[in-house]
């Protein structure tokens, strides 16, 4: 009974909060999907704070937001980034745990242990640190908040030579569900996005550095029901929707932006696809 009263109170204040400017923290927002998300959220009316290891000041100036140099693999730096948003804008309304790296390619039996740790530190532990400090802050706010974590279609199927990346992206779907059920009664929603290969610097580098770039490109588009690579803005649109009140009863889900790739059976003979 106490819980349901709190939910109603939070929902009401969330409605009135539509009139104040909201703030958003986006990690890994200097380029690629994160940049598109930061730009989209600024267009949506958020004050956006960019957290990245690269210099994000020019982009922050452009979108009238702020930049905090942040390595998401360091919990103290993530905590400081969250504190920066609150100091600047009074609350943390939206958090996008986007930063990620693909890592070296090798079969698991040959995978370098230090490289495994680096990939898990950035891709998975970085998301955990964002959740840890972001959720704590949102809990203090009657208005709650909304979080989107960046998974991947690699979080639904095994990728050859990218074991730690695959493991992290599966785990992000899991931690998204755990956070959703832990905090759903506090007006906090947590979802994830699973893009297929999009036209971003990360994917362009991945294709160019692979042993057979033409094969890598065709293998990326080959399993798409829509035979093309989505653009970063397609992922930004999905993120904007999940963060918004339009998605107020959607939590714990991973939304593929995959051109239909996950509808197909990977590596199956053509007649099954
Ligand atoms: N591009 C795709 O097609 C695709 C597909 C599926 C999932 N993803 C995921 O989307 C996210 C963004 O990918 P992208 O393609 O835009 O990559 P990208 O390499 O173009 O950009 C990644 C950004 O993250 C930043 N970054 C890297 N390590 C960081 C760290 N330790 N701390 C803070 N920032 C860091 C980089 O400086 C860069 O600005 C990643 O999590 C990636 O796994 C991308």
Residues 83-141: pLDDT tens digits?
999 999 999 999 999 999 999 999 999 999 999 999 999 999 999 999 999 999 999 99
> In degrees to the nearest 10, what's the CA dihedral of 141, 132, 90, 193?
-90
Q: Which of 165, 183, 223, 249 is catalytic?
A: 165
Q: Which helix (H) or strand (E) holds 52?
A: strand 47-52
Ligand 1 atom having least distance to the Cα of 33: 16
Ligand 1: distance of its center to the CA of 143 in Å? Answer: 29
Ligand 1 atom having least distance to the Cα of 123: 41
Q: CB burial class (10 A; 0-12, 13-18, 19+) of residue 26?
A: buried
Phi, psi for 261 (deg, rounded to 5): -60, -40
The Cα 224–Cα 160 span in angstroms is 18
CATH number 3.30.450.20 given to 2-197+237-258? no
Phi, psi for 86 (deg, rounded to 5): -70, -40
Q: Is the pLDDT of residue 5 over 50?
A: no
Ligand 1 atom having least distance to the Cα of 73: 31
Catalytic residue list contains 223: no
The Cα 47–Cα 94 span in angstroms is 10
The whole-model pTM stands at: 0.91
pLDDT for 16 equals 45
Contact 34, 63 (CB under 8 A): no
Contact 27, 80 (CB under 8 A): no
For ligand 1, say whether the CB of 72 is within 6 Å of any of its atoms: yes
Contact 137, 87 (CB under 8 A): no
């Amino acid at each position: 009974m106490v819980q349901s009263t709190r939910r109603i109170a939070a929902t009401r204040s969330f409605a009135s909060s539509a009139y104040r400017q909201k703030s958003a923290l986006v990690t890994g927002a200097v380029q690629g999907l994160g940049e598109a998300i930061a730009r989209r959220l600024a267009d949506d009316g958020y004050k956006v704070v960019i957290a990245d290891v690269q210099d994000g000041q020019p982009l922050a100036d452009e979108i009238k937001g702020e930049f905090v140099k942040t390595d998401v693999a360091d919990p103290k730096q993530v905590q400081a980034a969250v504190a920066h948003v609150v100091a600047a804008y009074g609350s943390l309304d939206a958090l996008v745990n986007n930063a990620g790296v693909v890592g070296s390619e090798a079969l698991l039996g040959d995978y370098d242990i230090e490289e495994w740790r680096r990939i898990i530190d950035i891709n998975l532990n970085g998301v955990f640190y964002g959740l840890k400090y972001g959720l704590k802050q949102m809990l203090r706010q009657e208005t709650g908040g909304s979080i989107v974590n960046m998974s991947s279609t690699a979080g639904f199927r095994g990728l050859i030579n990218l074991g730690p990346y695959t493991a992290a992206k599966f785990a992000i779907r899991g931690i998204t569900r755990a956070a959703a059920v832990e905090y759903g009664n506090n007006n906090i929603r947590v979802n994830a996005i699973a893009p297929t290969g999009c036209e971003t610097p990360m994917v362009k580098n991945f294709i160019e550095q692979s042993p057979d770039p033409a094969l890598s490109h065709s293998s990326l588009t080959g399993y798409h029901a829509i035979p093309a690579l989505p653009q970063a803005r397609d992922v930004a649109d999905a993120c904007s929707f999940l963060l918004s009140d339009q998605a107020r009863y959607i939590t714990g889900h991973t939304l593929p932006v995959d051109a239909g790739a996950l509808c197909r059976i990977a590596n199956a003979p053509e007649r099954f696809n």
